[in-house]
Amino acid sequence: MVWHAETSELEPGPSLRAAVLAARVERHWPTVLHGVRQLYPGHAPALAGALAELVRTSVLQRPAPLFVRDLARDADPGWFQRADNIGYVCYADLFAGTLAGVAERLDYLAELGVRYLHLMPLLRPRDGENDGGYAVAAYDEVNPALGTMADLQSLATALHGREMSLCIDLVLNHTAAEHPWAVKARAGDPAYRDHYLFFPDRTVPDRYETTLLEVFPTFAPGNFTWLPDLRQWVWTTFHEFQWDLNWASPHVFQAMFEVMLQLADQGVDVLRLDAAPFMWKREGTICQNEPEVHVLLTTLRALMSIAAPATAFKAEAIVAPEQLTPYLGAGEPERHECDLAYNNQLMVMLWSSLATGDAKLMANALRRIGPIPSGAAWVNYVRCHDDIGWAIMPADSQSVGWDSFAHRDFLLQFFSGTFPQSFAEGAIFQYNPETGDGRTSGTAASLSGIERALTDGDEVHLQIACARLELLYAVVYAYGGVPLLYMGDELGLCNDAGYLADPAKADDNRWMHRPRMDWAVAERRNVQGTLEARLFAMFASLATDRASTGALDASGQLVVLQPSDPHVLAFTRTHPAHGTFAMLANFGHATTVVGLEALLGASAAGAQVRRARAATVADGTATLAPHGYLWLTQP
């Protein structure tokens, strides 16, 4: 490695690169070979040869700063687990117009302690309706409305210069019907026909439909779309313009790996693997979480660990807890699969507890989620761009004597604001009269009562609503994993009905919780006494407190406790180097008193209050007012 003193740059020479390549191949290639042979038995030698050439070229040609970044992260694989890794999620256009605009707003993110920026889909989508960018027409181009690949690269460089990392979406399960692969397949090009799943009549689709679910029963019923020109059905799990890729084809595997390499070379640090569970189809199943999905992801992970190990994988798998932990490599034996995964269960349970005042269902559900490998982490969140699907597992609701269907229905009514006494202002998304299932849209501020309090000009309720929002985020910032702040929550942005005026969005009410950043409103964070100043300061201090609490490193051990008061959520985090942390959160509507020794055992002695809201500790006893919480540490 040559060090250029004038520029402070390291220039890795070819012999270093070759040695690094050899060491990584030694470590990861057996996993690649195993995966390729299992998935593509008839094509294994040819595919393995092509992949070997791709990783070799990639290591030898990887931009020097990223090659150095690879080395650093190989030496420090827990880089994303640190207590100071705080995420922010936004659409580039809604946040700042363009990618270059985002680069100009990094100071704002720094004020919130952000170290990880997830930009929503930014590759070129199809024209017109495109499911918020999840219908990709070109993986090698940035959406021209946002900028260019060069802009993406300079944004990544700017983020890296400030010790921030960049996460972007990679849609693996489907492409837009307008993607060149789909266009060629449709035109009969034999090299592309196997990229998608076509059927001449309803025989096979009907057999699959007997067990498949519907993701969008309202605006895209069924899982197949008729193509009149071809006189064939094509598999479309989501919208009819999103064609599912056929991952049983080695060509799809290789092409998507090449896409990953190209994005990694722009400096992307985390790939959010969209809709990963759907990647493999098997008749007689719901075609989610099939064993081959895990082989696919493990194999892709191993390839990236050779070619671009600085790049982490984040699974978007909104599935039952039993099916979820394998995406983080949990199981026998442990695998290196995705590094991060969405903790959908925590999110659902937080809202459920806010509505009921009960924390026992949440504690039972969280306790039932098995352990995850210490090298992986959850991403924890309160809201995201999608609806909330009320994943209340019967095993959990039964544990508190509730009926899961009735509770789901209650949550649906509560958060749409129709339930008597509800404080929420949300909307129902994709109600399916056949199953009685529905999901919920709405921003965190609107769902926690801020919108209603503002409309009513009710200052007392506004304070309570802010306390609710703080309680949810205080859990998310303390729970095991990486916390994500969803754009606008730091200012209490409410539902935005603007989408109704756009025909490409009007029938999808998820847009109500994807508001545009209003920078004039954001300015009010500096005006004392405003809602924005209050919430923003709260988020900034949550970040500071979290970042300086080493025990919150995601590699530590999480234990969800069983306090005697069912309204209190309590958990501990223990890290071998950074000591113990405990959180107590009162979801109930009355003040409660908790004996710390009974709850925390020996570690209660010497526990110090790291952060508190409406809660105090005296003589070994914690007193928590409604929505009060405590962060305790013990060195």
Which amino acids are annotated catalytic?
A: 274, 316
Residue 387 binds ligand GLC (CB under 6 A):
yes
**Residues 297-326 vs ligand GLC: string with x where CB under 6 A?**
-------------------x-x--------
- On whether the CB atoms of residues 314 and 272 are closer than 8 A, the answer is yes
Residue 151 binds ligand GLC (CB under 6 A):
no
Nearer to ligand GLC, 274 or 290 (CB): 274
Query: How far is residue 324's CA from residue 576's CA, in Å, rounded to a whole number?
Result: 26
Nearer to ligand GLC, 31 or 175 (CB): 175
3-state secondary structure of 613: strand
Q: HSE of 75 in the Cβ direction (CA atoms, 13 Å)?
A: 6
Query: Which of these segments, 88-96, 327-335, 357-365, 383-391, binds ligand GLC (CB under 6 A)?
Result: 383-391
Count residues binding ligand GLC (CB under 6 A). 14
Residue 129 binds ligand GLC (CB under 6 A):
no
Structure-block tokens of residue 4: 């250029």
**Residues 588-607 vs ligand GLC: string with x where CB under 6 A?**
--------------------
Residue 33: CB minimum distance to ligand GLC, A: 30
* Cα–Cα separations (whole angstroms), residue 483 to 95, 486, 525: 19, 10, 21
Nearer to ligand GLC, 244 or 358 (CB): 244
Residue 324: CB minimum distance to ligand GLC, A: 11
Query: How far is residue 507's CA from residue 499's CA, in Å, rounded to a whole number?
Result: 9
For residues 163-192, which are near ligand GLC according to CB under 6 A?
171
Q: Strand 579-586 relative to strand 568-575: parallel, antiparallel, unpaired?
A: antiparallel
Nearer to ligand GLC, 437 or 532 (CB): 437
In the set 125, 205, 389, 417, which binds ligand GLC (CB under 6 A)?
A: 389
**Residues 234-253 vs ligand GLC: string with x where CB under 6 A?**
----x---------------
Query: Which of these segments, 250-258, 386-394, 533-541, 597-605, binds ligand GLC (CB under 6 A)?
Result: 386-394
- On whether the CB atoms of residues 513 and 443 are closer than 8 A, the answer is yes
The residues, ordered by sequence, that sit 6+ positions from 618 with a Cβ below 8 Å of its Cβ are: none
Query: How far is residue 430's CA from residue 413's CA, in Å, rounded to a whole number?
Result: 14
Residue 275 binds ligand GLC (CB under 6 A):
yes
The residues, ordered by sequence, that sit 6+ positions from 287 with a Cβ below 8 Å of its Cβ are: 208, 211, 212, 237, 278, 280, 281
Q: Strand 579-586 relative to strand 621-634: parallel, antiparallel, unpaired?
A: antiparallel
In the set 274, 290, 337, 545, which binds ligand GLC (CB under 6 A)?
A: 274
- Using the CB atoms, write b or e for 472-504: b if 16+ within 10 Å: bbbbbbbbbbbbbbbbbbbbbbbbbeebeeeee
Query: Which of these segments, 86-94, 129-137, 251-259, 360-368, binds ligand GLC (CB under 6 A)?
Result: 129-137
Query: How far is residue 432's CA from residue 427's CA, in Å, rounded to a whole number?
Result: 14
For residues 201-240, which are near ligand GLC according to CB under 6 A?
215, 238
Residue 122 binds ligand GLC (CB under 6 A):
no
Structure-block tokens of residue 245: 């890729």
Residue 520: CB minimum distance to ligand GLC, A: 28
For residue 11, give the nearest of 69, 63, 64, 61 by alpha carbon: 64
Query: Which of these segments, 53-61, 69-77, 82-90, 126-134, binds ligand GLC (CB under 6 A)?
Result: 126-134
**Residues 32-71 vs ligand GLC: string with x where CB under 6 A?**
----------------------------------------
Nearer to ligand GLC, 274 or 532 (CB): 274
Residue 226: CB minimum distance to ligand GLC, A: 20
- Using the CB atoms, write b or e for 514-550: b if 16+ within 10 Å: bbebeeebbebbeeeebbbebbbebbbebbebbbebb
Residue 274: CB minimum distance to ligand GLC, A: 5
Query: Which of these segments, 157-165, 381-389, 447-455, 530-538, binds ligand GLC (CB under 6 A)?
Result: 381-389
**Which residue shows structure tokens 């990639």?**
58
The radius of gyration of the chain's CA atoms, rounded to the nearest angstrom, is 24
Question: Side chain identity at 415, as an amino acid letter?
Answer: F
Query: How far is residue 40's CA from residue 23's CA, in Å, rounded to a whole number?
Result: 26
In the set 108, 134, 181, 581, which binds ligand GLC (CB under 6 A)?
A: 134
Nearer to ligand GLC, 462 or 484 (CB): 484
The residue ranges that bind ligand GLC (CB under 6 A) are 131-132, 134, 171, 215, 238, 274-275, 316, 318, 385-387, 389
